[in-house]
Amino acid sequence: MNHEIAFEMAVSSIRSGAGVTREVGMDLAELGSKNVLVITDPALARLTPVSTVLESLEHNRIRFELYDRVRVEPTDESFHDAIAFAKQSPYDAFVAVGGGSAIDTAKAVNLYTTYPPADFLDYVNAPIGKGLPVPGPLKPLIAIPTTAGTGSETTGVSIFDLTRMHAKTGIASRRLKPTLGLLDPNNTRSLPPEVAASSGLDILSHAVESYTALPFSERPLPERPALRPAYQGSNPISDVWSLEAMRMVSRYLVRAVEDPSDDEARGRMLLAASYAGVGFGNAGVHLPHGMSYPVSGNVKNYFAPGYRSDHALVPHGISVILNAPAVFRFTGSMRPQRHLEAAEALGADVSRASLIDAGKILSDRIIWFMHRIKTPNGLHAIGYTSSDIPTLVEGTLPQHRVTKLSPRPASPEDLAHIFDDAMTAW
Protein backbone atom coordinates (compact mmCIF):
# COMPACT_ATOMS: atom_id res chain seq x y z
CA MET A 1 0.00 0.00 0.00
CA ASN A 2 1.26 3.48 -0.89
CA HIS A 3 1.00 5.84 2.06
CA GLU A 4 -0.21 9.43 2.10
CA ILE A 5 2.43 12.02 1.24
CA ALA A 6 0.62 15.26 2.14
CA PHE A 7 -1.93 16.87 4.40
CA GLU A 8 -4.19 19.80 3.69
CA MET A 9 -5.37 22.65 5.90
CA ALA A 10 -8.95 23.82 5.39
CA VAL A 11 -10.88 26.01 7.80
CA SER A 12 -13.64 28.60 7.85
CA SER A 13 -12.94 32.28 8.40
CA ILE A 14 -13.52 33.21 12.05
CA ARG A 15 -14.33 36.55 13.68
CA SER A 16 -14.31 36.70 17.47
CA GLY A 17 -15.46 39.42 19.83
CA ALA A 18 -18.30 40.51 22.08
CA GLY A 19 -21.08 41.94 19.92
CA VAL A 20 -19.98 40.61 16.50
CA THR A 21 -23.43 39.03 16.00
CA ARG A 22 -24.66 42.52 15.05
CA GLU A 23 -22.33 42.48 12.03
CA VAL A 24 -24.02 39.57 10.25
CA GLY A 25 -26.28 41.84 8.18
CA MET A 26 -23.34 43.88 6.92
CA ASP A 27 -21.48 40.68 6.01
CA LEU A 28 -24.40 39.36 4.00
CA ALA A 29 -24.89 42.71 2.28
CA GLU A 30 -21.24 42.69 1.22
CA LEU A 31 -21.71 39.16 -0.12
CA GLY A 32 -24.59 40.45 -2.23
CA SER A 33 -27.16 38.25 -0.50
CA LYS A 34 -30.79 39.17 -1.19
CA ASN A 35 -32.85 36.32 0.30
CA VAL A 36 -31.57 34.61 3.44
CA LEU A 37 -32.80 31.67 5.52
CA VAL A 38 -32.04 31.87 9.24
CA ILE A 39 -31.91 28.42 10.85
CA THR A 40 -32.30 27.86 14.60
CA ASP A 41 -34.15 25.80 17.20
CA PRO A 42 -37.47 26.59 18.95
CA ALA A 43 -35.90 27.62 22.25
CA LEU A 44 -33.32 29.97 20.73
CA ALA A 45 -35.91 31.52 18.42
CA ARG A 46 -37.25 33.40 21.45
CA LEU A 47 -33.87 34.55 22.78
CA THR A 48 -31.48 37.44 22.23
CA PRO A 49 -29.00 35.81 19.81
CA VAL A 50 -31.71 35.23 17.18
CA SER A 51 -33.40 38.59 17.71
CA THR A 52 -30.01 40.29 17.28
CA VAL A 53 -29.49 38.48 13.97
CA LEU A 54 -32.93 39.39 12.67
CA GLU A 55 -32.52 43.04 13.68
CA SER A 56 -29.19 43.16 11.84
CA LEU A 57 -30.77 41.72 8.69
CA GLU A 58 -33.65 44.18 8.88
CA HIS A 59 -31.28 47.10 9.43
CA ASN A 60 -29.34 46.09 6.32
CA ARG A 61 -32.55 45.60 4.32
CA ILE A 62 -31.97 41.94 3.64
CA ARG A 63 -35.03 39.81 3.06
CA PHE A 64 -35.14 36.75 5.30
CA GLU A 65 -37.26 33.93 6.62
CA LEU A 66 -36.86 32.07 9.91
CA TYR A 67 -36.79 28.30 10.20
CA ASP A 68 -37.01 27.45 13.90
CA ARG A 69 -37.68 23.71 13.92
CA VAL A 70 -34.12 22.42 14.33
CA ARG A 71 -34.09 19.30 16.49
CA VAL A 72 -31.51 19.07 19.27
CA GLU A 73 -29.38 16.11 18.11
CA PRO A 74 -30.85 16.19 14.58
CA THR A 75 -32.09 13.14 12.70
CA ASP A 76 -32.47 12.33 9.02
CA GLU A 77 -36.16 13.16 9.50
CA SER A 78 -35.43 16.62 10.94
CA PHE A 79 -32.93 17.24 8.11
CA HIS A 80 -35.65 16.33 5.59
CA ASP A 81 -38.02 18.81 7.24
CA ALA A 82 -35.50 21.65 7.06
CA ILE A 83 -34.53 20.83 3.48
CA ALA A 84 -38.19 20.75 2.39
CA PHE A 85 -38.77 24.15 4.01
CA ALA A 86 -35.71 25.63 2.28
CA LYS A 87 -36.81 24.37 -1.13
CA GLN A 88 -39.87 26.64 -0.99
CA SER A 89 -37.83 29.76 -1.82
CA PRO A 90 -34.62 30.47 -3.79
CA TYR A 91 -32.40 31.41 -0.83
CA ASP A 92 -28.97 32.69 -1.76
CA ALA A 93 -27.39 32.47 1.72
CA PHE A 94 -27.95 30.85 5.11
CA VAL A 95 -27.38 31.88 8.72
CA ALA A 96 -27.22 29.24 11.47
CA VAL A 97 -27.75 30.36 15.06
CA GLY A 98 -27.30 27.76 17.78
CA GLY A 99 -25.16 24.81 18.72
CA GLY A 100 -23.88 22.08 16.46
CA SER A 101 -27.43 20.89 15.78
CA ALA A 102 -28.39 24.17 14.09
CA ILE A 103 -25.10 24.58 12.24
CA ASP A 104 -25.05 20.98 11.00
CA THR A 105 -28.67 21.30 9.86
CA ALA A 106 -27.78 24.45 7.92
CA LYS A 107 -24.87 22.67 6.24
CA ALA A 108 -27.20 19.89 5.09
CA VAL A 109 -29.80 22.38 3.88
CA ASN A 110 -27.15 24.24 1.89
CA LEU A 111 -25.91 21.03 0.25
CA TYR A 112 -29.24 19.36 -0.47
CA THR A 113 -30.87 22.46 -1.91
CA THR A 114 -27.85 23.44 -4.01
CA TYR A 115 -27.12 19.97 -5.41
CA PRO A 116 -30.17 17.75 -4.80
CA PRO A 117 -29.09 14.08 -4.93
CA ALA A 118 -31.01 11.15 -6.37
CA ASP A 119 -31.15 9.62 -2.89
CA PHE A 120 -30.68 11.19 0.55
CA LEU A 121 -27.87 8.75 1.43
CA ASP A 122 -25.81 9.62 -1.64
CA TYR A 123 -23.69 12.17 0.26
CA VAL A 124 -23.68 10.27 3.56
CA ASN A 125 -20.40 8.71 4.64
CA ALA A 126 -19.69 5.17 3.44
CA PRO A 127 -20.44 2.40 4.21
CA ILE A 128 -23.83 3.68 5.45
CA GLY A 129 -24.24 5.91 2.38
CA LYS A 130 -22.40 6.26 -0.91
CA GLY A 131 -20.08 9.03 0.27
CA LEU A 132 -20.36 10.87 -3.06
CA PRO A 133 -18.24 14.04 -3.28
CA VAL A 134 -19.97 17.41 -3.14
CA PRO A 135 -20.14 18.47 -6.81
CA GLY A 136 -19.13 22.10 -6.42
CA PRO A 137 -19.11 25.24 -4.27
CA LEU A 138 -22.04 25.88 -1.94
CA LYS A 139 -23.85 29.10 -1.05
CA PRO A 140 -22.60 31.38 1.73
CA LEU A 141 -23.29 30.10 5.23
CA ILE A 142 -22.60 32.20 8.32
CA ALA A 143 -22.50 30.19 11.55
CA ILE A 144 -23.14 31.86 14.92
CA PRO A 145 -22.53 29.36 17.74
CA THR A 146 -24.41 29.76 21.01
CA THR A 147 -22.62 26.88 22.74
CA ALA A 148 -18.90 26.38 23.28
CA GLY A 149 -18.43 22.84 22.12
CA THR A 150 -18.88 21.39 18.65
CA GLY A 151 -16.61 23.71 16.68
CA SER A 152 -19.03 23.14 13.79
CA GLU A 153 -18.47 26.74 12.70
CA THR A 154 -15.00 25.68 11.48
CA THR A 155 -15.57 22.22 10.04
CA GLY A 156 -16.87 20.52 6.91
CA VAL A 157 -18.83 17.88 8.81
CA SER A 158 -22.60 17.55 9.37
CA ILE A 159 -23.75 14.90 11.87
CA PHE A 160 -27.23 13.43 12.36
CA ASP A 161 -29.02 10.38 13.76
CA LEU A 162 -30.08 7.89 11.10
CA THR A 163 -33.36 6.87 12.68
CA ARG A 164 -33.64 3.36 11.26
CA MET A 165 -30.11 2.50 12.50
CA HIS A 166 -30.39 4.13 15.93
CA ALA A 167 -26.90 5.55 15.35
CA LYS A 168 -25.29 8.76 14.22
CA THR A 169 -23.62 9.18 10.88
CA GLY A 170 -22.83 12.22 8.78
CA ILE A 171 -21.60 13.98 5.71
CA ALA A 172 -18.01 15.15 5.39
CA SER A 173 -16.62 17.52 2.78
CA ARG A 174 -14.43 20.61 2.93
CA ARG A 175 -17.11 22.34 0.85
CA LEU A 176 -19.56 22.10 3.76
CA LYS A 177 -17.48 24.52 5.84
CA PRO A 178 -19.28 27.72 6.80
CA THR A 179 -18.09 30.81 4.99
CA LEU A 180 -17.70 32.64 8.28
CA GLY A 181 -18.06 31.84 11.97
CA LEU A 182 -19.01 34.67 14.33
CA LEU A 183 -17.79 33.92 17.87
CA ASP A 184 -19.71 36.20 20.22
CA PRO A 185 -19.34 35.47 23.96
CA ASN A 186 -22.58 37.36 24.56
CA ASN A 187 -24.42 34.46 22.95
CA THR A 188 -23.36 31.96 25.64
CA ARG A 189 -24.57 34.01 28.63
CA SER A 190 -27.75 32.00 29.08
CA LEU A 191 -26.05 28.62 28.72
CA PRO A 192 -27.15 26.29 31.56
CA PRO A 193 -24.22 24.79 33.53
CA GLU A 194 -25.09 21.28 32.32
CA VAL A 195 -24.92 22.41 28.69
CA ALA A 196 -21.63 24.23 29.32
CA ALA A 197 -20.28 21.02 30.86
CA SER A 198 -21.35 18.73 28.02
CA SER A 199 -20.19 21.07 25.26
CA GLY A 200 -16.91 21.75 27.06
CA LEU A 201 -16.20 18.03 27.38
CA ASP A 202 -16.84 17.71 23.64
CA ILE A 203 -14.06 20.26 23.08
CA LEU A 204 -11.77 18.25 25.34
CA SER A 205 -12.38 15.00 23.47
CA HIS A 206 -12.14 16.65 20.03
CA ALA A 207 -8.69 17.94 20.92
CA VAL A 208 -7.38 14.75 22.52
CA GLU A 209 -8.74 12.50 19.79
CA SER A 210 -7.27 14.57 16.96
CA TYR A 211 -3.90 14.77 18.74
CA THR A 212 -3.75 11.00 19.33
CA ALA A 213 -5.24 9.99 15.97
CA LEU A 214 -3.40 7.87 13.44
CA PRO A 215 -0.78 10.07 11.70
CA PHE A 216 -1.74 11.31 8.24
CA SER A 217 1.35 9.58 6.79
CA GLU A 218 -0.02 6.16 7.77
CA ARG A 219 -3.22 6.56 5.75
CA PRO A 220 -3.47 5.26 2.17
CA LEU A 221 -2.55 7.58 -0.67
CA PRO A 222 -5.71 8.72 -2.53
CA GLU A 223 -6.00 8.29 -6.28
CA ARG A 224 -6.08 12.06 -6.71
CA PRO A 225 -5.78 15.07 -4.39
CA ALA A 226 -9.50 15.88 -4.51
CA LEU A 227 -10.20 12.54 -2.80
CA ARG A 228 -8.25 13.35 0.33
CA PRO A 229 -10.73 13.02 3.19
CA ALA A 230 -11.61 15.92 5.45
CA TYR A 231 -10.38 13.73 8.33
CA GLN A 232 -6.75 13.12 7.34
CA GLY A 233 -5.12 11.93 10.56
CA SER A 234 -2.97 13.89 12.97
CA ASN A 235 -0.56 16.31 11.31
CA PRO A 236 1.79 19.13 12.31
CA ILE A 237 -0.77 21.91 11.82
CA SER A 238 -3.73 20.23 13.54
CA ASP A 239 -1.42 19.33 16.44
CA VAL A 240 -0.81 23.01 17.24
CA TRP A 241 -4.52 23.83 17.44
CA SER A 242 -5.44 20.69 19.35
CA LEU A 243 -2.78 21.18 22.01
CA GLU A 244 -3.75 24.80 22.59
CA ALA A 245 -7.43 23.82 22.81
CA MET A 246 -6.51 21.34 25.56
CA ARG A 247 -4.58 24.00 27.45
CA MET A 248 -7.56 26.37 27.23
CA VAL A 249 -9.92 23.65 28.46
CA SER A 250 -7.59 23.01 31.39
CA ARG A 251 -7.69 26.68 32.40
CA TYR A 252 -11.30 27.62 31.70
CA LEU A 253 -13.71 24.66 31.54
CA VAL A 254 -14.36 24.33 35.27
CA ARG A 255 -14.64 28.10 35.63
CA ALA A 256 -17.15 28.38 32.79
CA VAL A 257 -19.34 25.61 34.24
CA GLU A 258 -19.21 26.67 37.88
CA ASP A 259 -19.63 30.41 37.29
CA PRO A 260 -21.81 31.38 34.30
CA SER A 261 -21.01 35.05 35.00
CA ASP A 262 -17.31 34.47 34.29
CA ASP A 263 -17.11 36.35 30.99
CA GLU A 264 -13.43 35.54 30.45
CA ALA A 265 -13.97 31.80 30.87
CA ARG A 266 -17.00 31.74 28.57
CA GLY A 267 -15.17 33.67 25.87
CA ARG A 268 -12.10 31.44 26.09
CA MET A 269 -14.17 28.26 25.89
CA LEU A 270 -15.88 29.63 22.77
CA LEU A 271 -12.44 30.13 21.26
CA ALA A 272 -11.32 26.71 22.46
CA ALA A 273 -14.22 25.13 20.59
CA SER A 274 -13.01 26.70 17.35
CA TYR A 275 -9.38 25.83 18.08
CA ALA A 276 -10.37 22.20 18.59
CA GLY A 277 -12.57 22.44 15.48
CA VAL A 278 -9.57 23.47 13.40
CA GLY A 279 -7.67 20.53 14.88
CA PHE A 280 -10.21 17.75 14.48
CA GLY A 281 -11.75 19.26 11.34
CA ASN A 282 -8.47 18.48 9.59
CA ALA A 283 -7.08 15.56 11.61
CA GLY A 284 -10.30 13.81 12.58
CA VAL A 285 -11.54 12.13 15.73
CA HIS A 286 -11.53 8.41 16.47
CA LEU A 287 -13.01 5.84 18.85
CA PRO A 288 -14.69 8.03 21.51
CA HIS A 289 -16.75 9.69 18.79
CA GLY A 290 -17.35 6.51 16.79
CA MET A 291 -18.60 4.78 19.94
CA SER A 292 -20.69 7.78 20.99
CA TYR A 293 -23.00 7.55 17.98
CA PRO A 294 -24.85 4.37 19.04
CA VAL A 295 -24.86 5.64 22.64
CA SER A 296 -26.84 8.68 21.49
CA GLY A 297 -28.95 6.74 18.99
CA ASN A 298 -30.09 3.98 21.34
CA VAL A 299 -30.95 6.08 24.38
CA LYS A 300 -34.13 4.82 26.05
CA ASN A 301 -35.28 7.05 28.90
CA TYR A 302 -32.46 9.41 29.84
CA PHE A 303 -33.47 13.07 29.75
CA ALA A 304 -30.40 15.24 30.18
CA PRO A 305 -30.61 17.94 32.88
CA GLY A 306 -30.38 21.49 31.53
CA TYR A 307 -31.66 20.61 28.05
CA ARG A 308 -35.10 21.58 26.77
CA SER A 309 -36.09 18.41 24.96
CA ASP A 310 -39.32 16.49 24.46
CA HIS A 311 -37.44 13.28 23.65
CA ALA A 312 -34.94 11.08 25.49
CA LEU A 313 -31.54 12.67 24.98
CA VAL A 314 -27.90 11.99 25.73
CA PRO A 315 -26.09 15.22 24.77
CA HIS A 316 -23.31 14.66 22.29
CA GLY A 317 -20.50 15.76 24.60
CA ILE A 318 -21.70 13.37 27.31
CA SER A 319 -22.03 10.43 24.92
CA VAL A 320 -18.45 11.05 23.78
CA ILE A 321 -16.76 11.62 27.12
CA LEU A 322 -18.32 8.57 28.81
CA ASN A 323 -16.37 6.38 26.38
CA ALA A 324 -13.15 8.40 26.40
CA PRO A 325 -11.34 7.13 29.54
CA ALA A 326 -11.82 3.50 28.54
CA VAL A 327 -10.70 4.26 24.98
CA PHE A 328 -7.49 5.99 26.00
CA ARG A 329 -6.60 3.16 28.37
CA PHE A 330 -6.94 0.95 25.27
CA THR A 331 -5.01 3.18 22.81
CA GLY A 332 -2.30 4.44 25.17
CA SER A 333 0.15 1.67 24.29
CA MET A 334 0.29 2.66 20.62
CA ARG A 335 1.15 6.37 20.90
CA PRO A 336 2.19 6.71 24.55
CA GLN A 337 4.15 9.94 24.17
CA ARG A 338 1.17 11.61 22.53
CA HIS A 339 -1.11 10.44 25.33
CA LEU A 340 1.27 11.86 27.95
CA GLU A 341 1.55 15.17 26.10
CA ALA A 342 -2.25 15.40 25.98
CA ALA A 343 -2.48 14.66 29.72
CA GLU A 344 0.09 17.37 30.42
CA ALA A 345 -1.80 19.90 28.26
CA LEU A 346 -4.89 19.10 30.33
CA GLY A 347 -3.02 19.91 33.52
CA ALA A 348 -1.60 16.56 34.69
CA ASP A 349 1.88 16.33 36.21
CA VAL A 350 3.76 13.91 33.97
CA SER A 351 7.28 14.75 35.18
CA ARG A 352 7.79 11.27 36.63
CA ALA A 353 5.46 9.42 34.29
CA SER A 354 6.35 6.18 32.56
CA LEU A 355 5.27 5.60 28.96
CA ILE A 356 3.69 2.32 29.99
CA ASP A 357 1.21 4.26 32.14
CA ALA A 358 0.39 6.91 29.49
CA GLY A 359 -3.14 5.72 28.70
CA LYS A 360 -4.11 5.47 32.37
CA ILE A 361 -2.66 8.89 33.18
CA LEU A 362 -4.63 10.55 30.39
CA SER A 363 -7.79 8.67 31.36
CA ASP A 364 -7.43 9.66 35.01
CA ARG A 365 -7.08 13.31 34.05
CA ILE A 366 -10.23 13.18 31.92
CA ILE A 367 -12.09 11.50 34.79
CA TRP A 368 -10.98 14.35 37.07
CA PHE A 369 -12.85 16.81 34.82
CA MET A 370 -15.86 14.53 34.56
CA HIS A 371 -16.11 14.18 38.33
CA ARG A 372 -15.50 17.88 39.02
CA ILE A 373 -18.29 19.09 36.72
CA LYS A 374 -20.72 16.32 37.71
CA THR A 375 -20.85 14.18 34.58
CA PRO A 376 -22.88 10.94 34.79
CA ASN A 377 -20.70 8.16 36.16
CA GLY A 378 -20.39 6.01 33.07
CA LEU A 379 -22.79 4.44 30.58
CA HIS A 380 -24.68 2.67 33.36
CA ALA A 381 -25.72 6.06 34.78
CA ILE A 382 -27.57 6.93 31.55
CA GLY A 383 -29.45 3.64 31.35
CA TYR A 384 -27.14 1.15 29.62
CA THR A 385 -26.23 -2.31 30.90
CA SER A 386 -23.95 -5.09 29.74
CA SER A 387 -26.85 -6.57 27.76
CA ASP A 388 -26.74 -3.49 25.50
CA ILE A 389 -23.10 -3.97 24.51
CA PRO A 390 -23.75 -6.05 21.34
CA THR A 391 -26.08 -3.31 20.05
CA LEU A 392 -23.54 -0.59 20.86
CA VAL A 393 -20.77 -2.52 19.09
CA GLU A 394 -22.99 -3.08 16.05
CA GLY A 395 -23.68 0.67 15.87
CA THR A 396 -19.97 1.49 16.09
CA LEU A 397 -18.69 -0.83 13.39
CA PRO A 398 -20.00 1.17 10.39
CA GLN A 399 -18.38 4.41 11.61
CA HIS A 400 -15.30 3.91 9.42
CA ARG A 401 -14.79 7.64 8.88
CA VAL A 402 -13.64 7.92 12.48
CA THR A 403 -12.89 4.44 13.81
CA LYS A 404 -10.20 3.85 11.19
CA LEU A 405 -8.31 6.83 12.64
CA SER A 406 -7.76 5.04 15.95
CA PRO A 407 -4.04 4.68 16.65
CA ARG A 408 -4.80 1.10 17.74
CA PRO A 409 -7.19 -0.92 15.56
CA ALA A 410 -10.24 -2.10 17.49
CA SER A 411 -11.93 -5.40 16.66
CA PRO A 412 -15.55 -6.10 17.61
CA GLU A 413 -14.22 -7.93 20.65
CA ASP A 414 -12.06 -4.93 21.58
CA LEU A 415 -15.04 -2.60 21.26
CA ALA A 416 -17.11 -4.86 23.50
CA HIS A 417 -14.38 -4.75 26.13
CA ILE A 418 -14.12 -0.94 25.90
CA PHE A 419 -17.89 -0.50 26.25
CA ASP A 420 -17.84 -2.81 29.26
CA ASP A 421 -15.00 -0.77 30.77
CA ALA A 422 -17.00 2.44 30.14
CA MET A 423 -20.05 1.30 32.11
CA THR A 424 -18.60 2.95 35.22
CA ALA A 425 -16.07 5.79 35.11
CA TRP A 426 -14.97 6.04 38.74
Domain spans of the chain?
19-183, 193-421
Distance CA 194, CA 215 (A): 34
Other C-beta atoms closer than 10 Å to the C-beta of 6 total: 12
In tens, the pLDDT along 341-400 reads: 999 999 999 999 999 999 999 999 999 999 999 999 999 999 999 999 999 999 999 999
Distance between CA atoms of 344 and 368, rounded to whole angstroms?
13
What is the predicted pLDDT for the residue at 230? 87
**Any idea which of 5-14, 62-71, 240-249, 411-420 has the lowest mean pLDDT?**
5-14
Q: Please, how many CA atoms are within 13 Å of residue 106, restricted to the half-sphere of its CB?
A: 38
- What tens digit of pLDDT does each residue of 18-48 get? 999 999 999 999 999 999 999 999 999 999 9
- Helix 100-114 with 76-86: angle, nearest 10 deg: 60
Q: Looking at the predicted structure, is the pLDDT value of residue 213 above 90?
A: yes
3-state secondary structure of 167: strand
The residue among 423, 420, 320 whose CA lies nearest residue 379 is 423
Q: What is the pTM of this model?
A: 0.93
Rounded distance between C-alpha atoms, residue 318 and residue 9, angstroms: 28
Pick the CATH number of 19-183 from 3.40.50.1970, 1.20.1300.10, 1.10.3720.10, 3.40.190.10: 3.40.50.1970
How much is the mean pLDDT over the chain?
95
Instruction: State the pLDDT at residue 401.
Output: 87
**Residue 191 pLDDT > 90, yes or no?**
no
Question: What is the pLDDT confidence band of residue 17, given thresholds at 50, 70 and 90?
Answer: very high
Comparison of pLDDT for 251 and 11, the residue scoring more = 251
Q: Which CATH class is domain 193-421?
A: mainly alpha
